[in-house]
Structure 1
Amino acid sequence: MTHHEFQMNCTVNHTLFDDPLILPGQPGASHNHSFMGNLDTNASSTPDTLLNGSGTSCTVAQDKSAYWFPTLYRGDNQVISPDLQTIYYKSGIIDYKKVRPFPAGLRFYAGSPMFTEDQFKNAPGTVEGWECGDSTKNWTIPTYCAPGSQLNVRYQAPSCWDGVHLDSADHRSHMAYPVDGECPTDHPVAVPMIEMKISWPVSGDMTGVHLAPMTMPDGSVMNVNWHYDFMNGWDQTVLSALTQHCIDGGLQCTPHGNDIYKPWAGTVLDDAGNLVWQPNLT
């Protein structure tokens, strides 16, 4: 089987009532989010502050990107997994050799807190929906999960960029999903398709398990559906190397950029995390 991907592994490092994409510069104004990657992400974060931040909870030090999603609760208690989470960087188009790295400064969000169950089920980014144990393809959080199993959700982000804007007023319009395996003409640049697989150590009776609710302007409280945000904080040379070697090269790579099934193909980062595969930056 031919793959064209690499993965990142990151842990949740803090939670805040912040959203630097949707509510920038407004600390405490959002519903609660769980943040992975950059250790310093807060309401005032920008791509520049990420690059100058103190570090990352991802296993690759050169990925100081910010990844965040609504915090999961059981009743009034936050549920945070201590485990490494998986963020796949894949080709969303058939001609995977055309995929280019994210440009510096790119940010967007995938999914929507406003989605109905049917919209979530039929959205182009849905992979498997909510899962736990043998229960798969759920479009809401299951009411029961086998004891000892984990709840997880998978969802794909758009992977076609308009080639001009690093953000847009709705934080979505500069990105689009492929159509029939190709990027649409108004979003012609294929970039990595992020597919986040997030898990939580929660099982049994799930009736009190929910995503962090959102307080609306009129004071009402709304339950939200799955969504997540991305703000690029990559070392662009390393991101380019991983994209070219793994995605364009048709490999199935670890976070360091080696395919364990094709060791002859080489690696992007050595065991110490140093770049050993030089990308074409022209």
Structure 2
Amino acid sequence: MHWRSLTALALAAPTNALIRFSCSQLVIDRIDPLVNPGLIPSPHLHQIIGGNSLNATMDPAKDMPGESTCTTCQFTEDTSNYWTAVLFFKARNGTYKRVPIRANVGSDGAEGGMTIYYMQNGLADYQQASKVTAFKPGFRMIIGDPLASTPEEAQRYRQVTYTCLQDMNTRFPETKNLPNKPCPAGIMANIRFPTCWDGKNLDTADHMSHMTYPESGTFDSKGPCPESHPVPVPQLMYETVWDTRQFNNPDDWPEDGTQPFIWSFGDQTGYGSHGDYLFGWKDNALQRTMDTPCYVNCPTLTTQSIAEQNKCKIDRIVDEDIDSWLTTIPGNPPMRKH
């Protein structure tokens, strides 16, 4: 369903909480506070949004929300950090160009970044009536596997997908692989995190084991959580719109007809897409919001202008060229093709 249609229908229906908001770019840098804390530079490039307390280590013992003086996200109570890898275009001559990010529907003027959702039920369920427990201070998680290179491996993370945008309202179909034809309005990368928590661990060694998908069905179909992970949490979802329009000339694509986009960790299939999350909501703002009837925006939260969220930036830690036509992707990752 198109976003505008969804919004129109929702306005007429009683709802509990579903929030959708834009977050502008905080920094594009080769750091990874979860997988490679303290390692400078990290193996591959990330695009990161959220609070400006971000650093290469992100010690969980510290009060990160309290340290942030601004956030790139629409709601000032949210100083979480969210990040994904970065998409590149590979030209026929073997050089690489970083693909820019364009503002999503409803986020006009946002500089790069992503659209973030927190939901109690599926996106098309206007009632949003399920009870969920908000993440706690110190919580962090990852979904997806950058080493996945086959459809079977990618299927483990069944809600990490792509949408080939015919226009900015396109939301289906979704695929597990990067689109193999030019997309008129760009490529949307969709990251949906698991929604069942073990209720004990704020993190685990692999940043995944404390979370899982529903025992049967999906979050959208209200599948139950398994006994091992009995606590339902909000559906966290990222949408990143990669602005591939300048690269849509078929004469620039590989002569063998394969698609030319490649992730910053060297994956050209798309199966390795992944997302990282570090919770940073202030006080009990997220739980309070999930318990309040509201849709998209919420009276429990303070909304800043897009101009204000665009102002929140941090300096890059790793000094390297990421904007020119490059002979190698930063970090020179091993390439995994179709």
Task: Give the TM bin, normalised by the shorter chain.
Answer: 0.7 to 0.9
Which stretches of structure 1, 4 residues or longer, exceed 6 Å deviation after superposition?
221-224
Q: Aligned in 2, Cα 1:24/1:49: closer, same or farther, shift over 3 Å?
A: farther
Kept in 2, the 8 Å contact 1:18–1:33? The answer is yes
Query: Which position in structure 1 is the counterpart of 2:97?
Result: 77
Task: Note the C-alpha offset of 1:223.
Answer: 8.0
- Candidates 138, 144, 150, aligned match of 2:175: 138
Are residue 156 (structure 1) and residue 215 (structure 2) matched? no
Task: Note the C-alpha offset of 1:159.
Answer: 1.2
- The separation in 1 between residues aligned to 2:264 and 2:160, in whole angstroms, is 22
Kept in 1, the 8 Å contact 2:77–2:302? The answer is no
Query: Which position in structure 2 is the counterpart of 1:236?
Result: 283
Q: Which amino acid aligns with 1:228?
A: G
Q: Aligned in 2, Cα 1:138/1:18: closer, same or farther, shift over 3 Å?
A: same
- The separation in 2 between residues aligned to 1:19 and 1:121, in whole angstroms, is 22
Task: Note the C-alpha offset of 1:45.
Answer: 1.9
- Candidates 295, 298, 301, aligned match of 1:269: 301
- Candidates 107, 126, 142, aligned match of 1:109: 142
Give CA-to-partner distance per residue, 1:204-245, whole Å, 9 cap, x none. Answer: 146332110259xxxxx9987110000001113211211111
Q: Which amino acid aligns with 1:90?
A: M
Range with greater deviation from structure 2 (62-71 or 115-124): 115-124
- The separation in 1 between residues aligned to 2:265 and 2:271, in whole angstroms, is 6
- The separation in 2 between residues aligned to 1:49 and 1:270, in whole angstroms, is 21
Q: Aligned in 2, Cα 1:272/1:77: closer, same or farther, shift over 3 Å?
A: closer
Query: Which position in structure 1 is the counterpart of 2:131?
Result: 98
Query: Which position in structure 1 is the counterpart of 2:213?
Result: 177
Are residue 199 (structure 1) and residue 249 (structure 2) matched? no
- The separation in 2 between residues aligned to 1:18 and 1:223, in whole angstroms, is 21
1:239 aligned counterpart, secondary structure? helix
Structure 1 gap ranges (5+): 216-220, 258-266, 274-282
Q: Which amino acid aligns with 1:184?
A: P
- The separation in 2 between residues aligned to 1:32 and 1:100, in whole angstroms, is 32
Are residue 187 (structure 1) and residue 229 (structure 2) matched? yes
The structure where strand makes up a greater share of residues is 1
Query: Which position in structure 1 is the counterpart of 2:333?
Result: none
- The separation in 2 between residues aligned to 1:103 and 1:36, in whole angstroms, is 19
* RMSD of aligned Cα (Å): 2.9
Task: Note the C-alpha offset of 1:160.
Answer: 1.1
Instruction: Count residues with an aligned counterpart.
Output: 252
Kept in 1, the 8 Å contact 2:148–2:154? The answer is no
Q: Which amino acid aligns with 1:104?
A: P
Query: Which position in structure 1 is the counterpart of 2:64?
Result: 50
- The separation in 2 between residues aligned to 1:189 and 1:160, in whole angstroms, is 6
Length-normalised TM-score, structure 2: 0.66
Task: Note the C-alpha offset of 1:116.
Answer: 3.2
Higher relative contact order (CA 8 A, sep 6+): 2
